């Protein structure tokens, strides 16, 4: 170990020895040391390797244990409801201090583990603690808090760095997360965040998990938790489709698109459809019969109300009865024909792609079909047509699939499912 690295290790150990998790005033000095070390570790891979060899992991593990204990027991014995403004200010100051310490420690760890397998393995020992902290910072009471969202984002980036490039750790984390109870899966909680920067961080971690492994991609398409992740991801894609180019939202959309591209390339899209059908059946298919019964009761109520009127309204009652029968026949015919939602959406997209103008950077691109009827009426000279780029071989028209069509089809899914 070089003298410079030894000095960094000494600084770290001294800062850890002088701090007390219960003494807020001692947090500032530790945060400053961690931030300075993070900068030094981010510059040189050899420094990271030598620093990790030093006897620093005992202190690191203790920092995480102290932090999660202090954070998760923060409200124990809280008397903030007694109207004491001084006590409330003190609690807010302590909460801010713990969040700042968590951010500084996460930055330090994010740089320490980057590209160093040995450091990643040691850091992964604290994954359960990191998961509990992420669970806390993505809670309902914290998700709208800007400081909590920032902390969750840094923790997510750190967790992604811990596993990136290490196949054993990726498999360990992926199998663990996709077999947890749904309310314990932090990937789902992170994907539900309204912060596009958090979405970008968690989607980057997910694509790193599935990119080089068919088995992990298969888990994403064949497990209940994987299906739940895909559903939330689709919701995020709808939300992000009109994000400004170059923004975190647009980058998150591109990463999410890459995840589904990976599923398609590995031939697992049918598996995902099957799993989604099973998952959604609990919410939709099982309710079809109840929905028909509800419609039947509604029509019968209308018939009853009409029959109370004069006998001259018998034709109206007869028409409503025929409508009632037609509704049942319509739903029965759909089930018998076996025409599914996917086939209808494919046909819808084909027709829309044929008849609607193409969109390029938010503006319609003219085609070579000639002037429109409105242009002919106004006797205006049509604008020069713009030749659309040639689709990639083997994917005709796929390059022209527009985000607005995706949004429309997703809304069609919502209408069909409800």
**Beta-carbon contacts of residue 206 (< 8 Å; ≥ 6 apart):** 187, 229, 259
What would the two tokens of residue 388 be?
A: 């659309």
Q: 119-171: per-residue pLDDT in tens?
A: 999 999 999 999 999 999 998 777 778 899 999 999 999 999 999 999 999 99
> pLDDT band at 222, cuts 50/70/90?
confident
In this prediction the pTM is 0.66
> pLDDT band at 174, cuts 50/70/90?
very high
- Mean pLDDT across the chain, nearest whole number? 77
Instruction: Please tell me the distance from the alpha carbon of residue 19 to that of residue 17, in angstroms, as a whole number.
Output: 6
Q: 13-25: per-residue pLDDT in tens?
A: 999 999 899 888 8
Backbone angles phi, psi at 364, to 5 degrees: -70, 140
> pLDDT band at 321, cuts 50/70/90?
low
Return the top range by mean pLDDT from 132-146, 207-221, 303-317, 370-384: 207-221
In the DSSP assignment, the letter for residue 194 is S
pLDDT at 248 over 70: yes
- Angle of helix 127-137 relative to helix 146-163, nearest 10 degrees, comes to 150
What would the two tokens of residue 72 be?
A: 């998760």
Helix (H, G, I), strand (E, B) or coil at 389: coil
pLDDT at 186 over 90: yes
Per-residue burial over 221-257, b if 16 or more Cβ lie within 10 Å, else e, is beeebbbbbbbbbbebbbbbbebeeeebbbbbbebbb
In 114-223, which residue ranges form alpha helices assigned H by DSSP? Answer: 117-124, 127-137, 146-163, 167-177, 186-191, 196-210, 214-222
- How high is the pLDDT of residue 202? 95
Contact present, 22 and 70 (Cβ < 8 Å) = yes
pLDDT at 213 over 80: yes
Strand duo 363-365 + 358-360: pairing = antiparallel
Q: Provide the strand spans (E) within 303-373.
A: 358-360, 363-365
Q: 24-80: per-residue pLDDT in tens?
A: 888 999 999 999 999 999 888 899 999 998 889 999 999 999 999 988 875 554 544
- How high is the pLDDT of residue 281? 54
- How high is the pLDDT of residue 200? 94
């Amino acid at each position: 170990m070089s003298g410079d690295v030894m000095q960094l290790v000494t600084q770290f150990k001294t800062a850890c020895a002088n701090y007390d998790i219960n003494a807020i005033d001692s947090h500032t000095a530790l945060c400053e040391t961690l931030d300075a070390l993070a900068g030094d570790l981010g510059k040189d891979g050899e420094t990271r390797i030598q620093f990790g060899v030093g006897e620093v992991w005992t202190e690191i593990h203790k920092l995480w244990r102290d932090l999660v204990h202090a954070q998760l027991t923060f409200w124990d014995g809280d008397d903030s409801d007694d109207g004491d403004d001084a006590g409330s200010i003190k609690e807010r100051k302590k909460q801010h201090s713990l969040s700042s310490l968590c951010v500084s420690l996460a930055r330090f760890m994010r740089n320490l583990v980057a590209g160093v397998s040995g450091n990643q393995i040691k850091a992964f020992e604290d994954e359960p603690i990191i998961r509990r902290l992420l669970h806390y910072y993505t809670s309902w009471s914290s998700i709208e808090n800007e400081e909590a969202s920032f902390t969750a984002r840094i923790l997510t980036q750190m967790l992604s760095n811990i596993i990136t490039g290490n196949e054993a750790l990726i498999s360990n984390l992926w199998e663990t997360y996709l077999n947890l109870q749904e309310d314990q899966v932090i990937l789902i909680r992170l994907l539900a965040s309204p912060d596009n920067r958090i979405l970008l961080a968690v989607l980057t971690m997910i694509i790193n998990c599935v990119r080089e492994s068919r088995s992990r991609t298969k888990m994403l398409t064949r497990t209940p938790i994987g299906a739940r992740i895909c559903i939330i991801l689709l919701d995020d894609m709808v939300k992000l489709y009109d994000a400004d180019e170059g923004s975190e939202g647009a980058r998150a959309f591109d990463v999410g698109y890459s995840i589904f591209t990976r599923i398609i390339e590995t031939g697992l899209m049918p598996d995902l459809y099957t799993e989604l059908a099973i998952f959604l059946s609990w919410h939709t298919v099982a309710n079809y019969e109840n929905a028909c019964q509800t419609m039947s009761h509604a029509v019968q109520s209308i018939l009853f109300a009409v029959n109370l009127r004069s006998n001259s309204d018998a034709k109206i009652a007869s028409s409503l009865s025929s409508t009632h029968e037609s509704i049942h026949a319509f739903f029965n015919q759909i089930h018998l024909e076996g025409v599914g939602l996917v086939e209808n959406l494919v046909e819808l997209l084909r027709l829309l792609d044929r008849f609607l103008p193409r969109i390029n950077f938010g503006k319609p691109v003219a085609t070579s079909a000639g002037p429109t009827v409105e242009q002919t009426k106004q006797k205006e000279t049509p604008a020069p047509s713009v030749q659309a780029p040639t689709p990639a071989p083997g994917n005709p028209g796929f390059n022209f699939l527009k985000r607005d069509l995706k949004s429309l089809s997703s809304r069609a899914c919502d209408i069909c499912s409800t």
